[in-house]
Amino acid sequence: MNKNVKTLLLPLIAPSVSIFLALIVGSIAIIITKNNPFMVYREMFYGAFGNKYYILTTLTRATPIIFCGLGAAIAWSSRYMGIGGEGQMIIGGFVCSIIAFNLEANLFIRIFVAIIISILFGGLYSLVSAWLLDKFKVSLAISTLMLNYIAQYITLYLVTYYFQNELGDRKLVQTGMLEESVRFPQIFENYSLHLGFIIALLTVFLVWFLMNRTSFGYESRMTGYNINFCNYGGVNSKKIMYVTLFLSGALCAFAGISEVFGVQYRYVDKMYVSGSYAWMGLSAALISGFNPIGVLFTSIILAAISTGGAAISRNTTVPLELSFIIQGCITIFISAKIAINFRKNKKKILKKES
């Protein structure tokens, strides 16, 4: 087999094995509900890829997951293990909706300014956790988790008291709806898939190039592996950390932007929390071993499990929670693999030191 083909296929091996094992566990759950696993999985596959409508719906749902997965891949591959993608996505989507709705300018400037400032805010929000880690050694996992809640409730307050859509349903906390001229164009007329998916595909290859073909990508990974070695070698580890986490936050913010411009056309409270995009993106990054090409593949699979799970809950007696069981099992199997590899590497290091 061609070496380049092997390189592309290698990131897909671990996700494929994990998905297969998760489907086996899912089969056990289906049998417990007294259903036929083959019939249920056939229904799930059809609900995700059965026709043009389902395929494009799955790819639409995969779009923000891809962005969040890429953001997590950049940070986690450098051992900056934050879980703040949801908060960064909320900030990006909220800022984008406010600027795009209220800015009085021509079409191009409105879209351009909304995207740039939203990305900037998402990146800066990520830098809050970087600063806490740098100055006070606060755990990145804890600070980013808390920042998710802060973002959710700050935006809830601002929308409720300052940006609430007076003409819409008062039961929903939401901003005004963007007019059609400001939205991402649909790739296929009368279908949900939008320009954001094309941008996601391009971003996958840009992130892959950044991580694997640039000095920054190498320095970022090395900083995570051994910060003392990098400092001794002349690498500014502090600068690398800040830039890495800024890029991670910016990518997650674009996930929020894509939902505002491409799907919801406004910011709605809990729209990202209920969709679990950031957590699915983190799962995609873990499953793919932080490889951007693998993130693309895994994000589509996770989106398919979600949309297919909705189909089986509609057409069978199997509950929607089956899709969450499968997603959770995939992540568990991958996490087990990561833990085993970590222990093996640690043993090798201890043997060398002894």
Confidence band, pLDDT 50/70/90 cuts, at residue 349: low
Nearest Cα neighbor of 11 from 272, 275, 298 is 298
- In tens, the pLDDT along 38-51 reads 998 999 999 999 99
123-177 residue pLDDT tens: 999 999 999 999 999 999 999 999 999 999 999 999 999 999 977 666 789 999 9
Rounded Cα distance, 259 and 280, in Å: 15
CA 160 to chain centre: 27
pLDDT at 354: 59
Q: Which of 175, 177, 178, 150 is nearest to 161 (CA)?
A: 175
For residues 230 and 219, give the distance between their C-alpha atoms in angstroms, rounded to a whole number: 8
Structure tokens at 353: 């030191």
Of 90, 89, 86, 59, the closest CA to residue 200 belongs to 59
- What whole-number percentage of the chain has pLDDT above 70? 90
**Percent of the chain that is helix, strand, coil (3-state, to 5):** 80, 0, 20
What residues contact residue 131 under an 8 Å CB cut-off, 6+ apart? none
Q: What is the mean pLDDT of residues 266-278?
A: 92
All domains of the chain, ordered by start, with CATH?
11-353 (1.10.3470)
pLDDT at 3 over 70: no
Cα 236 to Cα 222: distance, rounded to the nearest angstrom? 11
Residues 160 and 293: their CA atoms lie apart, in Å, by 40
Q: What is the C-alpha to C-alpha distance for residues 174 and 271, in angstroms, rounded to an integer?
A: 10
Q: Which pLDDT band, with edges at 50, 70 and 90, does 11 fall under?
A: low
What angle (nearest 5°) sits at the alpha carbon of residue 268, between those of residues 188 and 204? 50
DSSP letter, residue 167: T
Read off the tokens for 352: 């060398």
* Cα separations in angstroms, 205 against 85, 107, 115, 293: 20, 28, 20, 7
